[in-house]
A and B are shown apart, each in its own frame.
Chain A
């Protein structure tokens, strides 16, 4: 049961405020500056894209460094340990 609650709590904590933030940001009005709105959206989306890219690239670098054969902390998998490979 605990595994069901974890994502629900996380979604409530993170996703719901995000939705609220997105909708509370601006209300439909008259004479909006279309160019400004579109470019600002583009910059926000680019920020998200670069953050995601950075996290993925960082995770890959960390994995390669952490699980390299020469790392003193590296432990063989059970298969390698038995000499099955």
Chain B
């Protein structure tokens, strides 16, 4: 053809650069978020229609409420006894499926004290709307 096609190559390069940036950045942040601190306390979370049960490392159990310390790391091991649920603390952007027959994990560290909502984020039956718990974060 003989005509110059450099604008097309620039276009292709920009598209590739953007895709690489989006992929790399998302991968990077995902890695940062999934990196669990070694001193994280493990809390077993059991979901069932239609309430939450929490078991601390020392064996203490809580139903419908969870007490945590500010600026401590917690790793949740989440499973379900019946149907699919989803463990969600909106304030701290914690979101993980609770699936029967498997344990899913998610970790976070509360950076402010107070009272926060825990809710089910996966439709799980008649009283799904009220499958809630309270998170109490106490000062360090």
Contacts and interface: CB of A to CB of B under 8 A. Distances in A.
Contacts of B94: 34
Contacts of A41: 25-26, 29
Given A6-B9, A7-B12, A37 B24 contact: no
Q: Is the interface of B mostly helix, strand, loop or mixed?
A: helix
Interface of A: 3, 6-7, 10-11, 13-15, 18-19, 21-23, 25-26, 28-35, 37-41, 44-45, 48, 52
A22 B24 contact: yes
B63 interface: no
Contacts of B126: none
A15 B31 contact: no
Contacts of B10: 10
A69 B22 CA distance: 39
Contacts of B33: 32, 34, 37-38
A48 B37 contact: no
A6 B13 CA distance: 9
B3 interface: no
Given A22-B25, A31-B73, A7 B93 contact: no
B11 to A, nearest CB: 10
